[in-house]
Amino acid sequence: MKSSFKDLFEKTSWDETSAAISSVTPPMVELALDRKGTGGLEDFRALVSSAAVDYLEPMARLSHELTRQRFGDAVRLFAPMYLSNECQNICDYCGFSLTNSVPRKTLNAREIMAEASVLRKQGFEHVLIVTGEAQRKVHLKYFRDALHVLRPHFANLSMEVQPLEQNEYESLVAEGLHSVLVYQETYHPESYRSHHPKGKKSNMIWRLETPDRLGAAGVKKIGLGCLYGLTEDWRTDAFFAALHLDYLERAYWRSTYSMSFPRMRPHEGETPPDANITDRDVVQLLCAYRIFNHELEITLSTRESPMFRDHAFKLGVTTMSAGSRTEPGGYASKDADETLEQFSISDDRSPAEVAQMLVSAGYEPVWKDWDASYDCHSARNLQADSTLDDQPLALVV
């Protein structure tokens, strides 16, 4: 790789950026609103500052207006599908962390198909494959085989797993992978080291350069974000995520981009957050990103409460998860083991209930936003030598 975001990141001072955000004045916020964010990162800096807190109402109105202009009344629905909670990293904010004494499970083909059957019956056409980072258990061949199993039955397959090499992403794109989410967690080096003391994830730069490898591999959509609460200065963290997004859109313009604003949720081996991110803070983040980037897809997950999601989605959200389970096998098992969870969800409504909420608010829930026919290859069956199971299984819905 000739160049990457690492070069820009290392030239951008955290302390100077933080000071610049702290020095924002009300007229600077008003200017950003007047020009609807067309001032780029300068406007984002103003909109994410503490000075902008008094402007949340006009920010919300503008964010809502811009979202309706670009995306209409549609909100895409997806479900995360957890395939494994095995992990070789120590991350003090995650229920999958190596140090947590919890049962470990990795789904085989039969179990994956059982999960898929439930989600298809609920109406989902888009699933997000999620695993811990355990290269010996969940590796390239495992991911490839999982895509073989799922591709004939879902229009859109996304992935949130350990960072891979560019050629590995290229091979997964050839198998039907549409998008990859890779949250940096935090862009503050000291906080990153503190929260990731052991495992491959402790290499911050390796993770930081992952979106570059995704863009070079031709992944159609790249998802970014911070886990808010890992560093005290969350406004500066948000700015660095915006800087990363701005860089990627210029470098890999063929890909589209999404952003999420997850807050720390209760989990096994719980570590208190370094910052308490309020609902008001998330609203400010959501509106600031929408005004900064009118084309950005914005996701709001079931980490958030039903009441918050019912109100906040109108401000700029384009994608929502629904009916989520965060443990392997959580959809198909009647006796799902909550000790396998990555974190506890807050919105436990069914997908149908979330869809009805959207309809009642005048929006259209979209279950399918991509089709395999758009790709230049066709789905293939699971190979006989699959590491997931001995035989491919039929999915009945």
Q: 3-state DSSP call for residue 110? A: helix
The Cα 45–Cα 73 span in angstroms is 28
What angle do the packed helices 234-251 and 14-22 form, to 10 degrees? 110
The CA distance from 379 to 357, in Å, is 34
Q: What is the pLDDT of residue 94?
A: 84
Confidence (pLDDT) at 339: 47
Q: What's residue 268's pLDDT?
A: 44
The Cα 317–Cα 286 span in angstroms is: 8
Q: How many CB atoms lie within 10 A of CB 346?
A: 18
Query: What pTM was estimated for this model as a whole?
Result: 0.91
Q: pLDDT (tens digit, 9 = 90+) per residue, 89-144?
A: 998 888 788 888 788 999 999 999 999 999 999 999 999 999 999 988 999 999 99
Q: What is the reported pLDDT for 381?
A: 40
Q: Which tokens sit at 99?
A: 């140090």
Using CA atoms, how far residue 97 sits from 102, 103, 190, 269, in Å, is 9, 12, 19, 8
Q: Tokens at residue 204, please? A: 């911050």
Q: CA 179 from chain center: how many Å?
A: 10
Q: Which residues contact 341 (CB under 8 A, 6 or more apart)?
A: 85, 95, 267, 268, 325, 326, 327, 330
Low-confidence ranges of the chain (pLDDT < 70): 1, 265-271, 334-344, 370-397
Rg over alpha carbons for the chain, rounded to the nearest Å, is 20
Helix, coil or strand: residue 377: coil
* DSSP 3-state of 42: helix
The pLDDT value given to residue 383: 40
Domains and CATH numbers, the chain: 5-371 (3.20.20.70)
Closest CA to 61 of 69, 208, 184: 69
Are 62 and 33 in contact by the 8 Å Cβ rule? The answer is yes
Look at residue 335 in the predicted model and tell me its pLDDT: 63
φ, ψ (nearest 5 deg) of residue 160: -135, 90
Residue in this structure with the two tokens 């309020």, named with its chain if needed:
278
pLDDT at res. 270: 55
Burial class (CB in 10 A: 0-12, 13-18, 19+), 379: middle
260 bridge partner residues: 225, 299
Q: What is the pLDDT of residues 204-254, one digit of tens each?
A: 999 999 999 999 999 999 999 999 999 999 999 999 999 999 999 999 999
Rounded distance, CA 294 to CA 290, Å?
Answer: 6
The whole-number pLDDT of residue 336 equals: 55
Cα 66 to Cα 52: distance, rounded to the nearest angstrom: 18
Distance (Å, whole) CA 282 – CA 284: 5
Predicted pLDDT of residue 396? 32
